[in-house]
């Protein structure tokens, strides 16, 4: 319930932040900032440390989700937005099934910290790819 209350307080301000600044820069910053937080979870102990790390990750998630959805709308023609949004959701949901199984296998069979390190490393890779490959539109969609 702490995380739910936190989300109720910060979701709208994070959405407003996305409207004021470059969506691409916010996404890159989000992925860069997530990397050390996720890695730090491997070393946290105690309720307060875990809660603080999760709240910070939630905050970054709200920024990232708002920026990604807004950017997707900016990059997609109006007549295709529903299909593109649906395809994105299908892809993410389809990938979550094998990812959960693989994460569980690594957690149980290799090292419980390894999934956190892999997420951290992949966040840096995503940030680099976004920074170098994504072209933010000059004009935002109204």
Measured distance CA(111)–CA(107) in Å, rounded? 5
- 112 pLDDT band, cuts 50/70/90, is very high
Per-residue pLDDT, 141: 66
- The pLDDT mean for the chain works out to 93
Per-residue pLDDT, 83: 93
Task: Check: CB of residue 31 under 8 Å from CB of residue 123.
Answer: yes
What mean pLDDT is predicted for residues 57-72? Answer: 94
- 139 pLDDT band, cuts 50/70/90, is confident
Over residues 83-97, the pLDDT tens digits come to 999 999 999 999 999
Per-residue pLDDT, 71: 92
What mean pLDDT is predicted for residues 51-75? Answer: 93
Phi-psi region of 46 (alpha: psi -120 to 50; beta: other; left: phi over 0): left
Question: In this structure, which CATH number among 1.10.10.10, 3.30.360.10, 1.10.1200.10, 1.20.1250.20 belongs to the domain 2-133?
Answer: 1.20.1250.20
pLDDT of 142 strictly over 90? no
| DSSP summary character for residue 80 | G
Over residues 36-55, the pLDDT tens digits come to 999 999 999 899 999 999 99
Over residues 3-32, the pLDDT tens digits come to 999 999 999 999 999 999 999 999 999 999
pLDDT of 109 strictly over 70? yes
- 136 pLDDT band, cuts 50/70/90, is confident
pTM of the predicted model, to two decimals? 0.86
Measured distance CA(65)–CA(71) in Å, rounded? 10
């Amino acid at each position: 319930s702490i995380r739910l209350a936190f989300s109720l307080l910060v979701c709208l301000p994070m959405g407003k932040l996305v409207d004021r600044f470059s969506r691409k820069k916010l996404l890159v910053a989000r992925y860069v900032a997530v990397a050390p937080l996720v890695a730090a979870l491997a070393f946290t102990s105690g309720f307060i440390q875990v809660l603080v790390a999760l709240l910070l990750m939630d905050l970054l998630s709200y920024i990232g989700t708002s920026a990604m959805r807004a950017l997707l709308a900016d990059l997609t023609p109006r007549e295709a937005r529903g299909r593109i949004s649906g395809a994105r959701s299908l892809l993410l949901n389809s990938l979550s099934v094998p990812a959960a199984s693989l994460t569980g296998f690594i957690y149980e069979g290799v090292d419980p910290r390894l999934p956190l390190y892999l997420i951290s490393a992949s966040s840096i890779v995503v940030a680099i790819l976004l920074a170098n490959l994504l072209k933010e539109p000059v004009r935002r969609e109204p």
